[in-house]
């Protein structure tokens, strides 16, 4: 075995014990460790370890919360929970969050080795299954004469809607299109709901994607601001359309599906100079509405 491990535990002695077991028994290397959940989330997303050891009870963010935030972006990465507390309800929540194995404290060398071996067997089995699936899909594509991926039209449908909103050339357009592809499961076939994620987690996903695929380091805050400004510009454009023609098709269709219509009317009042404050955007509603509009054609 030659896996990269990340260890998250607020007890430094546990981190050292696990590190020694991993190295001394040739299980792999320790690519990183932390005693705090918040720091670990960012580090794990960047380091992308093969296996993660994670403590159940942590200060501030507990192990289940950390796992819930990381799993959407690391679905193939095994998470091994370690804890001295064994409560059925907690263990059940851990498994629901994506934890695959459980190790009790105090740390037992044999138990750690056996669990890692089980993880190794499962990972190898998944690789075999994926190999068969990829081979089958490739053969199926050849048989059907398909030159394009089945989801290749998602980006163009989304871009078409953004064009109607007048924001197809804004700075945050590419961020929006990339998030749409993630939510639609273009790369892995898994469709997701924006309501199930923290917006910060989605921005982190984009930051990692740009660094991984293009070598670009884009600050998460920058991504958030670009998306917000672009969606806000769309709200302004919709408001202006409504002022010119209340029966405008773009105004009536997208003004309520991708924005809160109460906020659209507030934006219209602001544009007329009758209010000091414009309408507010709801990013989750915007993405939810965008995907629904894409599916409705």
Confidence of residue 105 (pLDDT cuts 50, 70, 90): confident
- For the segment 12-67, what is each residue's pLDDT rounded down to a tens digit? 999 999 999 999 999 999 999 999 988 999 999 999 999 999 998 888 888 888 99
Report d(CA 187, CA 210) in Å as an integer. Answer: 15
Q: Is residue 146 part of a domain?
A: no
Helix (H) or strand (E) holding 212: helix 199-214
Residues 9 and 74 in one domain: yes
Average pLDDT on 101-120 reads 89
Range of the domain at 56: 3-123
Instruction: Kindly write down the DSSP assignment for every residue of 170-204, as one continuous string.
Output: STTHHHHHHHHHHHHTTTTS----GGGS-HHHHHH
Residue with tokens 């929006």: 176
What are the tokens at 291?
Answer: 């995907």
Closest CA relative to residue 155, chosen from 190, 135, 180, 136: 180
Residues 256 and 176 in one domain: yes
Q: Is residue 23 part of a domain?
A: yes
Closest CA relative to residue 157, chosen from 255, 260, 252, 296: 296
- Min mean pLDDT across 77-91, 201-215, 246-260 is at 77-91
Residues 8 and 79 in one domain: yes
What pLDDT score was predicted for residue 103?
A: 87
Work out how many domains the chain is built from and give that number: 2
Residues 161 and 109 in one domain: no
Tell me the C-alpha to C-alpha distance, in Å, between residue 211 and each of 173, 178, 220, 267.
18, 14, 12, 36
Q: Is residue 147 part of a domain?
A: no
Q: Is residue 52 part of a domain?
A: yes
By CB neighbour count within 10 A (0-12 exposed, 13-18 middle, 19+ buried), where does 297 fall?
exposed
* Residue pair 10/55 in contact by the 8 Å Cβ criterion: yes
Q: Is residue 85 part of a domain?
A: yes
Residues 100 and 160 in one domain: no
- For the segment 116-134, what is each residue's pLDDT rounded down to a tens digit? 998 888 888 777 666 655 5
Residues 62 and 178 in one domain: no
Residues 104 and 233 in one domain: no
Q: Is residue 18 part of a domain?
A: yes
Residues 115 and 173 in one domain: no
At 33, phi and psi to the nearest 5?
Answer: -155, 160
Closest CA relative to residue 75, chosen from 100, 111, 57, 42: 100
Handedness of CA 208, 214, 218, 224 (dihedral sign): negative
Residue 152 has pLDDT above 70, yes or no: no
What pLDDT score was predicted for residue 87?
A: 56
Residues 103 and 185 in one domain: no
Closest CA relative to residue 5, chosen from 42, 52, 39: 52
Confidence of residue 196 (pLDDT cuts 50, 70, 90): confident
Average pLDDT on 79-90 reads 75
Residues 237 and 291 in one domain: yes
Q: Is residue 131 part of a domain?
A: no
How many helices and strands in the chain, by DSSP H and E? 12, 5
Residue 113: CATH number of its domain: 3.40.50.2300
What pLDDT score was predicted for residue 133?
A: 58
Residues 162 and 280 in one domain: yes
Q: Is residue 284 part of a domain?
A: yes
Residues 214 and 167 in one domain: yes
Which of 123, 146, 170 terminates a domain? The answer is 123
């Amino acid at each position: 075995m030659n896996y990269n491990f990340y260890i998250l535990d607020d007890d430094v002695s546990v981190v050292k014990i696990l590190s020694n077991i991993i190295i001394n028994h040739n299980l792999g290397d320790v690519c990183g460790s932390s005693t705090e959940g918040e720091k670990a989330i960012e580090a794990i997303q960047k380091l992308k370890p093969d296996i993660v050891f994670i403590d159940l009870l942590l200060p501030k963010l507990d192990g289940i919360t950390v796992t819930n935030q990381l799993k959407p972006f690391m679905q193939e990465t095994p998470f091994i929970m370690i804890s001295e507390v064994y409560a059925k309800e907690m263990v059940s929540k851990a498994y629901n969050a994506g934890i695959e194995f459980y190790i009790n404290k105090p740390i037992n060398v044999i138990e750690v080795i056996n669990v890692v071996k089980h993880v190794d067997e499962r990972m190898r089995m998944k690789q075999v299954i994926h190999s068969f699936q990829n081979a089958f899909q490739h053969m199926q594509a050849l048989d059907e004469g398909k030159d394009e991926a089945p989801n290749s039209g998602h980006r163009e449908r989304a871009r078409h809607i953004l064009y109607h909103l007048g924001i197809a050339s804004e700075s945050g357009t590419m961020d929006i299109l990339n998030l749409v592809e993630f939510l639609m499961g273009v790369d892995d076939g898994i469709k997701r709901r924006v309501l199930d994620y923290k917006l910060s987690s989605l921005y982190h996903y984009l930051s990692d994607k740009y660094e991984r695929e293009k070598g670009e380091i884009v600050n998460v805050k920058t991504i958030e601001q670009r998306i917000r400004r672009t969606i806000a510009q769309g709200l302004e454009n919709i408001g202006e359309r409504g002022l010119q023609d209340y029966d405008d098709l773009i105004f009536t269709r997208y003004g309520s599906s991708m924005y809160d219509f109460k906020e659209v009317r507030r934006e219209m009042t602001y544009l007329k100079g009758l209010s000091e404050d414009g309408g507010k955007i709801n990013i989750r509603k915007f993405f939810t509405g965008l995907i629904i509009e894409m599916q409705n054609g």
